[in-house]
Structure 1
C-alpha cells in the first residue's frame, strides 16, 4: 500500500512580506527534506499571516504570479511537496486558499475555504465550493481549511470522493483547542482517513493560537503532536492503516443502508 512521510510546519505567527514568507518557507522545506519528508503543510494564510485585512490584501497572489512561481521552485529545489496557505486573488475576488505543489514544483490543486467564521474572513473573502481530490505519490488527498473541518459534512464529502489523507491548514485559537484535541481525531476515525492539521505556534508572546498541530490516524489516534512553539512534526502515512480500520467498521459503506434524507424531522410548536 502507498506510503508517504508528512511534515507539518507549525510556524510562528507573523504578518509577512512575500520575501519573508519565501525565506522562512525555504528553511522549513530544507528541514523537511533533511528529515525525509515527502510533503510539507503550512498553517492557514501562511503567506500573509492571519487576522489583518490589510496584510491579506497586500500579500494576495494570483496563480502564476512571480511569488507563486518562486514557491514552486522552492518545492522543486528541495524535492518536497507543499500545501501552502495563502490569500488568493482571482477575477477580482479574494479567497482564503491553499495551493498544492508536488516535489517537482508542479501545481497539483487549489482549494478555497468554504466556511468563513468571523468578521475578518467574511469581510475579506469569498467562499469556495468544497473539496476535490488529487493524487500525491499514489495517495488520494483533499484539502480543507480550519473551520471547514468542524463541519462533518465537508470531511464526509471528501471521504466519499475517496480521500485517504486530508490536509488542513488552520489558524486555531487557543480557546478552541478542543478542535485539535477531539474533533480532528473524530473526523479521522469516522471517515477512516489520515488528517494533517497544521496550526500556528503559541508561546509567551503569541498565546492566541493553540500551537497544537497534529497528524491523526484512521483509528482516531494522534500519531504526533506539536507542543506550542514553532515546530516541525512528522509522521508516516501508511494507507494500509485505513483498510485495517475499515475491516472493523466501515461507516462509509454502512451509512448507505440509511435513507437519512427521508427521515421525518420532528418540529416543536
Structure 2
C-alpha cells in the first residue's frame, strides 16, 4: 500500500494585504505540518487575493522571489512537500497566476502558469495565460495541477492524466454562488481521469462576493474523502495511491479511448 498524507490549508486571503496574507500562511503551514503530513496544499493567489485592476501590477510578486523564498524555507524547516497553490507574479510588464511546488529539501520541483483566465472577472485582461501543462513527483507519486477556472476545460486535465498522473491538484478562488458546479466538477474530473483530485479553495469574501470554501479530496471512484466547510481551516486525509492502479486495471478507459473518432 502506497499512502500519502495530505494537508489542506483553506484561507480567507485579504485583497491587497500581502504582508498579512504571508503572515497567516506561515502560521497555517506550520500548524498543518505538525500533524505529520507529506504534502501541504495551498489555495489560489494567496499572496494578493484574487484581484484584477491597475493595483495588481504594484502588488504582484516581482519574479516570484518573495513567494519562492518563503515556500522553500517552509518546506525545508517543516520537512514537508508544499504544493504552493498559486501567487500573482510579475515579470516585466506581464503578470502570471503561477504555481510553485517544493520538496522536503526546499527544492523547486515545478511551476505552472494558469492557462484560462476567468473572462467574466477580466482575469484574461490582466494576467498572461500559460501554455503548457506540468508534472512532478511527490514521494514517488506522479502529480500535476491546474488552477481554478481551468477545471472547466476537461481537455487540459485529460492531457495530464494520459501521462499517468495519479494525484491532481487544483488551487482556486471559487465563489459560493457556483458551489454546486464546484462539487460536481471536482468529482467528475476525478472519476473520468481515474485519479485523486485534491483542491484547495479560498473562503471569506472578495469584495462582497463570498467564496465557496469546500476544499476537497476526491478519490478515483468519485468518493469525497475530505471536504471543508466555508470558514478558514486546515484538514488532513490519508490517500491510498494503489487505488489508482486498481481502478485503471478494472475499467481501462485510457486503453478503450478512440481519439481518432473524436
The normalised TM-score by structure 2 is: 0.91
SS at match of 2:157: helix
Rounded Cα–Cα distance in structure 1 between residues aligned with 2:55 and 2:221: 39
User: CA 1:107–1:212 in structure 2 vs 1: closer, same or farther (change >3 Å)?
Assistant: same
Q: Which residue of 1 aligns with 2:96?
A: 95
Rounded Cα–Cα distance in structure 1 between residues aligned with 2:108 and 2:16: 23
Rounded Cα–Cα distance in structure 2 between residues aligned with 1:62 and 1:245: 43
Rounded Cα–Cα distance in structure 2 between residues aligned with 1:214 and 1:38: 17
- Name the stretch that deviates more: 214-223 or 77-86: 77-86
Give 1:202 shift. Answer: 4.1
Q: Which residue of 1 aligns with 2:77?
A: 77
Q: Which residue of 1 aligns with 2:115?
A: 114
SS at match of 1:201: coil
- Name the stretch that deviates more: 14-23 or 219-228: 14-23
State the structure with more CA Rg: 1
**Structure 1: gaps (5+ residues):** 262-269
Q: Which residue of 1 aligns with 2:4?
A: 4
Q: Which residue of 2 aligns with 1:243?
A: 245
The answer on whether the counterparts of 1:113 and 1:128 sit within 8 Å (CA) in structure 2 is yes
Give 1:159 shift. Answer: 0.1
SS at match of 1:187: helix
Q: Deviations over 1:66-88 (max 9, x none)?
A: 44213311221111222221012
Q: Deviations over 1:165-192 (max 9, x none)?
A: 1110001111211233111111101111
C-alpha RMSD of the superposition: 2.0
Rounded Cα–Cα distance in structure 1 between residues aligned with 2:35 and 2:149: 30
Q: Which residue of 1 aligns with 2:68?
A: 68
**1:218 maps onto 2:223 in alignment:** no
The answer on whether the counterparts of 1:62 and 1:88 sit within 8 Å (CA) in structure 2 is yes
User: CA 1:102–1:63 in structure 2 vs 1: closer, same or farther (change >3 Å)?
Assistant: farther
**2:177 is matched with which residue: 175, 190, 202?**
175
Aligned 1:1-269 pairs, distance under 5 A = 1-54=1-54, 56-63=56-63, 65-84=65-84, 85-118=86-119, 119-202=121-204, 208-255=210-257, 257-261=258-262
Q: Deviations over 1:27-74 (max 9, x none)?
A: 111121121211111111111101243553233224462442133112
Give the paired residue count: 259
The normalised TM-score by structure 1 is: 0.89
